[in-house]
Each structure stands twice: as C-alpha cells, then as structure tokens.
C-alpha cells in the first residue's frame, strides 16, 4: 500500500485497514486505537461498529476482531472483547465462541423483529 492508495498512509496508525487484507484477517482492535479515516470506508459495517465501540466506552483492555464486530447486532455498554492475556490457542477459541454467541443473538433479534412486524401488520388488518 502507498500514499496513492490512501492519502492517510503516512500518518495513519489504524490497526485494521480496509486496504490491508492481512490486517482484516489477523488484526485486532482495541477501543483506544485509531479507526480508518478514509471517507469511502466509513460505511463498512465493522468500521461503524468500531466507532460505536469507542462511543459506548467499552473497556480498552479487551480486543475485537473484524469477525467479532461483524457478528454484533448492536454495541451496548457491558459488552467485552477478548482478554489478550490468555494463551493464543485459548484466545482464538474465545474469539470463535464470542462470534458464535453473537450470531445466535443476531438470529434471535431477527426473529423478534419479524414477529413484531407480523403483529403490527395483523393489528393494521384488524383496524380496517
């Protein structure tokens, strides 16, 4: 990557870079780290989640991966990332379990939303 690819290349210290496949696959994000500033990437779901993690004020001593952020349906206080002080094998397992648990939460949220939409549709039908 060069300054031709990103005008922030010389000064950026974001640990997760949309232009760097390796950082997306193996990188980790702590809430006190810099987030990509390139305008064309601000709509990426995981970049939005990074901003939300910072805004909510999640603990700076826990990290998140792109996979973990993609599994989140919402970011709320009380959430915690993965503890970096555990052995690497345990950390990888914790990341997978974290993402798996949040994907289950995501499916449940979608189910509740569908149920709510169905109920409101039925209520409108009864009102006619």
Tell me the whole-structure pTM to 2 decimals.
0.72
Mean pLDDT of the chain: 84
- φ/ψ region of 86 (left if φ > 0, alpha if ψ in -120 to 50, else beta) reads beta
How many Cα atoms sit within 13 Å of 117 on the Cβ side? 6
At 58-105, the pLDDT tens digits run: 999 999 999 889 888 889 888 888 888 888 778 888 887 777 776 666
Grade residue 33 by pLDDT with cuts at 50, 70 and 90.
very high
- Provide the residue ranges of all domains of the chain, joining segments of one domain with +: 21-127
Distance (Å, whole) CA 109 – CA 106: 5
Q: What is the pLDDT of residue 128?
A: 58
User: Is the Cβ–Cβ distance between 18 and 41 less than 8 Å?
Assistant: yes
At 97-112, the pLDDT tens digits run: 777 776 666 667 667 7
Q: What is the pLDDT of residue 4?
A: 67
- Picking from 93, 94, 113, 95, the residue whose alpha carbon sits closest to that of residue 105 is 113
Distance (Å, whole) CA 50 – CA 64: 9
């Amino acid at each position: 990557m060069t300054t031709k690819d990103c005008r922030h290349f010389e000064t950026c210290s974001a640990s997760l870079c949309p232009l760097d496949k390796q950082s997306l696959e193996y990188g980790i994000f702590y809430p006190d780290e810099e987030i990509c500033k390139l305008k064309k990437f601000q709509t990426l779901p995981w970049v939005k989640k990074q901003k939300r993690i910072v805004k909510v004020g999640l603990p700076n001593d826990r990290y998140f991966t792109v996979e973990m952020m993609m599994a989140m349906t919402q970011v709320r206080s009380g959430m915690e990332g993965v503890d970096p002080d555990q052995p690497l094998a345990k950390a990888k397992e914790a990341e997978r379990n974290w993402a798996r648990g949040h994907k289950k939460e995501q499916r449940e949220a979608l189910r509740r939303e569908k149920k709510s939409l169905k109920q409101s549709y039925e209520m409108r039908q009864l009102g006619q």
